[in-house]
Amino acid sequence: MTKLTTVVMTVVLATVTGLSQGGSNYSSVGLGDVVRSVGARYEGMAGTMIAMPSQQGINVINPSLLGLSPFTRIQTGYRFEQHIVNASQGSAAQTSGEVDGLLALFSVDTSMGLGVAFGILPYSNIAYATNRTFTIDGSQGTQTGSSSQSGSGGMSSIYLGASYRIGGVHLGASAQPLFGQMIYTDDNVTSSLATRTTFTQQSKYLMTGASYRLGFSTEVLPALNLAGYYTFGSKLSFDRTETQTAYITEISDTLGLRGIDEYTFFKQQTSGESPLPSTVGFGLSYRNGRTQIGIDIEQGDYSTVSINRRSDATMGSMFRASIGLSQQAAGYAPTFFDKWGYRGGIGYVKQYYSFKGQPIEEIFGAVGVDFPLGQSATVDAAMQAGIRTPSSKLYEYIGRFSVTVSIGEIWFRPFSRD
């Protein structure tokens, strides 16, 4: 038990702190990059999961599907991202990595559709870095300088979800208490023959709140499932600390840097609240033997979010659509490759913000595989590749790779009924 507790705490801390690593320059807007789902099983289908139940995966998008798995399951994984940012000033490669959540699912009774899940998940990720150089001609001569902006942090959530069947409809609900920290830093450095001055401006947000979700799933025709969800949230409370500091360094011809004087001339702390976004989504899936295909459509309203509103960006609506295909591994595989499961998908996202008047769009494709380890344990791997761009000078190539380990057992048997 002590070893298990140590492993769980390590994964929880890594999930929270992992959000501070590098990534997309567009994460400097609003809540940053919102992490929609976790788990390579669904990432391999381009995140198509609203109406896609799985016995080997834990579905955090639609809680009504939790009770469809017969296995009590523990799941964790790792996600790696590569961003290649291209702009008029040049290009830069940024990487990030984080633990892809820690989840547990208790399948209490599949005949009642009764399932309970809990865990910790990443909610949003802020990680960017930009830099440019400049020259100033003044009365004291020419000064050279550089300007750099960076951001780190994000939000995590504690996930609590449950499902139950009423007649032919599976219903579910989940709650996600949110917590996190966002740090935005702007450094400007100028140098002359005598001094070097560094001016640093930093804004730090500490946040707490909660997001809630209701979901349903039903079989409208044999092998054809219709499902949907609605997400809403309480106010996101935040404490903001803004600091401005100057560092002045004297330069000596013989001794180099001779001394540093630090001046903190502005510090302000404020508190406030921001509405959380609301999102609605619908999905269809069809199963034929071991093959399942699904379609997701989602719409979100982020227009009232007031966290980190930039003058060059506008909050608005999010739209997402994807199609995914899954080929389940054979239960009694005659060949080695029949033991593998295969997935693929394509997706489109219109982000919830516009940058300099232009909408930010993302188009990506995905592939994935899984290999069973025994009856109910699997190792899943998925890869996504795409481009995020407006029709302007700044765009990003994105690569994502995730691995998930999922272990399950049948702990509960259906209750006896007359």
Structural domains in the chain, sorted by start? 2-236+273-409 (2.40.160.60)
298: nearest Cα among 355, 228, 234, 237: 228
Q: What are the tens digits of pLDDT across the range 49-58?
A: 999 998 888 9
Collect all residues with Cβ–Cβ distance below 8 Å to 292 and sequence separation of at least 6.
52, 285, 286, 325, 326, 328
Q: Are strands 395-409 and 256-275 parallel, antiparallel or unpaired?
A: unpaired
Tell me the pLDDT of the chain averaged across its residues: 84
Strands 291-301 and 317-327 turn out to be antiparallel
d(CA 403, CA 368): 10
One-letter amino acid for residue 173 of the chain? A
pLDDT tens per residue, range 62-111: 999 999 888 889 999 999 988 887 766 667 777 888 888 999 999 888 88
pLDDT of residue 9: 35
The CA distance from 66 to 231, in Å, is: 17
Distance CA 77, CA 82 (A): 17
Give the model confidence (pLDDT) of 12-50 as tens digits.
334 333 333 446 888 888 999 999 888 999 999 999 999
Rounded Cα–Cα distance for residues 266 and 263 (Å): 9
